[in-house]
Structure 1
Amino acid sequence: MAKKTSLFEDLFHIASKLPWWISALIAVSSGVYLHSVATAPMPVYSDPQHLQSVLFSTVWRTFATFGQYLVPLIFAGGAIASIIQRRRPRKLFDSATTTKGNPLLSITWHEFEILVGEALRRRGYSVRETGQNGPDGGIDLIARKDGETYVVQCKQWRSVQVGVPVVRELYGAMAAEGAVGGFVVTSGTFTKPARDFAAGRNVQLVDGSVLKQWIAEAKKPGPRPTVEVVPERVEPAIVKPEVVVTPSTAPAPIPVQAPAPTATPPVTREAEPEPAALPPAPLCPHCRKTMVIRVARTGANAGGNFWGCVAYPKCRGIRPIFAPMTVK
């Protein structure tokens, strides 16, 4: 059963979720407006038919008399709470970078979500929390970067490995949210079937060791990889031996007149079929560069093709290839 809240509690919650400067602006403007209503002269109505207007003016004036102090106080407190809430992720992340041992084991599930969101912000994403759904509830974060949307699910499972049902659920949520990719982040590890299912589907599995690496990399300047991809299989280049020509001291052979060539009919070859046209290359969802076709070496999509960023390994963005094709 949901807990009932008062109007003032709802206003304070809204004010704490807004940027602090918006809450501060509302506090000042509402105080000025309600003060002008409370100090305005009471209108006089001589017609009894205006009784309803008289009652409304009286009630509104009474509310303004008390609201000119109460409403600005609520939004001023909300502005302070907004500042504290926005400093909390940074403080939590900074403490995780300096804490000895495993910082993921000493925080709550909600602090774990805050830590993951701040880690993504440090990697160039804008992150929005979807609400406190509990330690096992739905999509926890919505991340955006370069106009693309990503869904994030956090699992603070310390003793149980995250299995394929969680990854499959996130993959389904990607289509529902119109996301191009997703993250499943855990303080523990993933099962092999979960990793096989995520391979080639633009779903990045971030276990505890990778998350701690993100935290450590936050102190280092430079771009960060955003999506893990399978490295491209590169065939070794065939180097032809150089032919060195050295001058010879032997006498030149006496030229012999060759017989006149006989006319031979021209040899015609059948035209080779042109290769099937490939689909136009899309743009990388991260760096917006042109993508190339790559071949997955491991995972459930081993031997299959996918679009990979041309700037790999600096950028690790991928996209699936929906139409089957063969790359020669």
Structure 2
Amino acid sequence: MAKKNESLLRMLFEAPWWVSVLISGFSYLFLNYIFPRLLVSDAMVSQAFLNAARDLSPMVALVFLFPAPFAFLRSYISKKRLENTSSVSDIAKLDWMEFEALLGEFYRQQGYTVKQKLSHSSDGGVDIKLTKDRKVSLVQCKHWKKQKVGVKVLRELYGVLLDSKADKMIVITSGEFTIDAQQFAQHKEFDLINGVQLVSMLAQTQQSNDTVNIDISTQEYGTPLGNRKPIETTSLSTCPKCGSELTLRTARKGSNAGKQFYGCIGFPKCRYTRSK
């Protein structure tokens, strides 16, 4: 029983904060109003259980409510981290747990149901499990600053993919993949995403509520070399505000949809734009 309670509480810490609030409220109502109706009213033992349930209801509700502020804080920090990560150097400053939390928040904002366990325990080749439109994708995160992800890693993950019967395996690294790894991933249900591609993906989410939006998706930037679509941004000059590079982008929303402009790659820290 202790293990089940521990597992439930851990799930609440990782779930959205409002899940704890709902379960807390339901447990209080159940013990005070629903549970009494299930008991035989004329039995002394039932009255004893009723009194005990009512006495315990505030404590049980508080136990289930306890993870809510921590879950809220975790979500807030993850969203802020996503907003402030705009370069490969920003990613390099993260530790492995922050890196995985960043990716989990990214996919949540893309509409995926995200299941991840941020702990030191063995993950079996899966750091994040994504579900969307009845399709399941597995994500393995490699926060390697110097070492490249090689073909040996992908062979092991391919076995995990086949055993799990998932639709896709996504491997994300803060660094690079070896040529052998890229060749191995071709014609298999793999998406390989390196540090530069990841920054481009994050930029899409960071600008999703703005008028201008980079036309970037996981599908375009996650495929192996040789199958990848051309990148739609090209470097041009430098930003007069922060000195970063300017890239040619295409507006996807608003009155300027379809028009091209130059924007700073330091977005959202720098919002400088210039018409083409």
- Equivalences for residues 83-232 of structure 1 within 5 A: 83-97=72-86, 102-129=89-116, 132=119, 134=121, 137-220=124-207, 221=213, 224-227=216-219, 228=223, 230=226
Structure 1 length-normalised TM: 0.55
Equivalences, count: 215
- Equivalences for residues 47-62 of structure 1 within 5 A: 54=45, 58=48, 60-61=49-50
Gaps of 5+ in 2: 208-212, 229-276
Shift of 1:57: 5.5
SS in 1 for 2:104: helix
Shift of 1:201: 1.5
Partner of 1:296: none
Shift of 1:61: 4.7
Residues of 1 paired with 2:103 and 2:166: CA distance?
18
Shift of 1:109: 0.9
Gaps of 5+ in 1: 46-52, 233-328
Query: Aligned-residue CA RMSD in angstroms?
Result: 3.4
Greater fraction of residues in strand: 2
Shift of 1:208: 1.6
Q: Deviations over 1:241-270 (max 9, x none)?
A: xxxxxxxxxxxxxxxxxxxxxxxxxxxxxx
Structure 2 CA distance for partners of 1:196 and 1:112, relative to 1, 3 Å: same
Q: Which amino acid aligns with 1:94?
A: E
Structure 2 CA distance for partners of 1:95 and 1:231, relative to 1, 3 Å: closer
Whichever of the two has the greater Rg, that structure is 1
Structure 2 CA distance for partners of 1:29 and 1:196, relative to 1, 3 Å: closer
Shift of 1:101: 6.7
Deviates more, 1:142-151 or 1:109-118: 142-151
Greater fraction of residues in helix: 2
Structure 2 CA distance for partners of 1:186 and 1:18, relative to 1, 3 Å: closer
Q: Deviations over 1:85-137 (max 9, x none)?
A: 3333212211213xx77112222211111112233344454332156355875
